[in-house]
A and B are shown apart, each in its own frame.
Chain A
Amino acid sequence: MKLSNEMMNAYADGELQGAERAEFEALLQNDPDAQQALQDILAVKRQLAQAYRGAAVPAQTPSRTMNYRLAGYAALLLLAFSGGWLGSNQMHQSNAQPLADARSLSPTNEMLQVSNVQSAAGKYILHIDSKDHLKFKTALDRAEALVAMYQAESHPYEIEVIANAGGLDMLREGETPYGDRIRQLSQRYPNIKFIACSNAIERLQEKGVKPNLIASVHQGETALDQVVKRMNQGWTYMKI
Chain B
Amino acid sequence: MKIFKLACRRVALVKRIEHSRTKLYRMALAWCHDPMLADDLVQETQILALQKLHQLNNEAAFNGWIYSILNNAWLGHLRKSRPTEDIDRLVVADAASPEHEILMQQVDLMVRSAMSLLPNAQRQVVSLVDLDGLSYSEVADILQIPIGTVMSRLNRARAALAESIIKRRRQPVQTAVQGERLDAVKLRVVK
Task: Decide: A83 and B126 in contact? CB cutoff 8 A.
Answer: no
User: What does the 1/0 interface line of A68-96 toward B look like (CB < 8 Å)?
Assistant: 10011011101100110100101110000
Interface size on A, residues (CB 8 A): 55
- How many Å lie between the Cα of A7 and that of B26 in the bound state? 27
Q: How far is the CB of A116 from chain B (nearest CB, A)?
A: 6
Interface size on B, residues (CB 8 A): 52
Given contacts A48-B131, A71-B50, contact A57 B11 (CB under 8 A): no
- How many Å lie between the Cα of A223 and that of B3 in the bound state? 9
Task: Decide: A83 and B6 in contact? CB cutoff 8 A.
Answer: yes
Given contacts A57-B22, A68-B46, A227-B4, contact A44 B11 (CB under 8 A): no
User: What is the interface of chain B mostly: helix, strand, loop, or mixed?
Assistant: helix
User: What does the 1/0 interface line of B11-22 toward A look like (CB < 8 Å)?
Assistant: 110110000011
Given contacts A49-B130, A75-B53, A239-B1, contact A44 B161 (CB under 8 A): yes
Q: Within 8 Å of chain A (Cβ to Cβ): is B115?
A: yes
- How many Å lie between the Cα of A6 and that of B46 in the bound state? 34
Task: Decide: A52 and B165 in contact? CB cutoff 8 A.
Answer: no
Q: How far is the CB of B147 from chain A (nearest CB, A)?
A: 9
Task: Decide: B111 and A75 in contact? CB cutoff 8 A.
Answer: no
Task: Decide: A52 and B162 in contact? CB cutoff 8 A.
Answer: no
Stretch binding the partner chain, chosen from A8-16, A139-147, A171-179: A8-16
Q: Which residues of A contact B159 (CB under 8 A)?
A: 5
Q: Within 8 Å of chain A (Cβ to Cβ): is B136?
A: yes
Given contacts A45-B130, A55-B26, A232-B14, contact A50 B108 (CB under 8 A): yes
- How many Å lie between the Cα of A30 and that of B10 in the bound state? 54
Max count, chain A CB within 10 A of own CB: residue among B11, B107, B131, B158: B158
Q: Which residues of B contact A109 (CB under 8 A)?
A: 1
Stretch binding the partner chain, chosen from B68-76, B149-157, B171-179: B149-157
Given contacts A52-B30, A85-B3, A239-B1, contact A72 B14 (CB under 8 A): yes
The contact sample of 27 A-B pairs, CB cut-off 8 A, is A5-B155, A6-B155, A9-B155, A9-B158, A10-B136, A13-B135, A40-B162, A41-B162, A43-B162, A44-B158, A47-B107, A47-B111, A48-B111, A48-B115, A48-B130, A51-B107, A54-B108, A58-B35, A68-B43, A72-B14, A72-B50, A75-B54, A116-B15, A127-B3, A127-B4, A228-B14, A237-B7
Chain A residues in the interface with B (C-beta under 8 A): 5-6, 9-10, 13, 15, 40-41, 43-45, 47-55, 57-58, 60, 64, 67-68, 71-72, 74-76, 78-79, 82-83, 85, 88, 90-92, 109, 112, 114, 116-117, 127, 129, 223-224, 227-228, 231-232, 237, 239
Chain B residues in the interface with A (C-beta under 8 A): 1-4, 6-8, 10-12, 14-15, 21-22, 25-27, 29-30, 35, 39, 43, 46-47, 50-54, 107-109, 111-112, 115, 126-127, 129-131, 135-136, 151-152, 154-155, 158-159, 161-162, 165-166
